[in-house]
Amino acid sequence: MQATSKPVPPFSPVPPFPPFPPESLSRLLRQWCIAPGSPPPAAARLGAWFGWADAIEIAQVLTTPPGSAVSEAARIKAMHWASTELERLQAELASSFHHTELAGESNSISDGATLKDLLVPYLQHFGQQQRVIESRTSTFRALLRARLTRASDELARLAQLDDYIERAMAAPQLRAMAGLSALLETRAQKHYAADPRQWRARLCSDLQRLLRAELDHKLQAVLGLIEALGTHNPP
């Protein structure tokens, strides 16, 4: 009897909703009355981040026409994988952001302890979660690029460009995200001055919102790659 192949089920390119409300970093900063600076033009920023060797390699990628190899099965499989992994990553990080002990801290005023001392566990948790975000999103992005490479030559070229961009932006991104700890301290000082008893709960809320915003920021490139998978039209 001749084997019959099963049709590939249709798949929506729309990523799943995260298990927590979306949080835009720029919007959050504006809500906290922190005006974002005016960045220089994108071309100027890229010129500062890329070295000559990087520029030459990127130019070669952009000027070399991609091949015509396409694997629709690999593309559909990659879309299924990306959607599942994105949902799992968001759910696991949402659980990781919540710190039961910090959230359950007493509202009593601590005798003899300075605010700086009281903030230590909050800042430690925040820094540790930032490292988790960086590690998990970078790994996910690299694995996604590998799947784009197997889907088509055009998507392989996109994956190669994304790899260059990620490496070039790694140091500036780390410097920018490192400044969020100081912002969290400023928020703590504001909450403590307003209410020395209820400041912990408000700080925990700010901490989780800031982590969700950083995760949202780090996932923008990943969502772009997923969108490319879903909208790619093979020749």
Rounded average pLDDT per 10-residue block, the chain, 235 residues = 43 50 84 74 67 76 76 92 95 91 70 87 96 97 96 92 89 89 95 91 94 95 94 62
What confidence score (pLDDT) does residue 189 get? Answer: 95
Task: Give the contacts of 122 (CB within 8 A, at least 6 positions apart).
Answer: 102, 184, 188, 203, 204, 207
The pLDDT of residue 133 is: 97
The closest of 54, 199, 187 to 126, measured between CA atoms, is 187
Q: What is the DSSP letter of 226?
A: H
pLDDT of residue 51: 73
The tokens describing 38, both together, are 């005016």
- What pLDDT sits at residue 45? 66
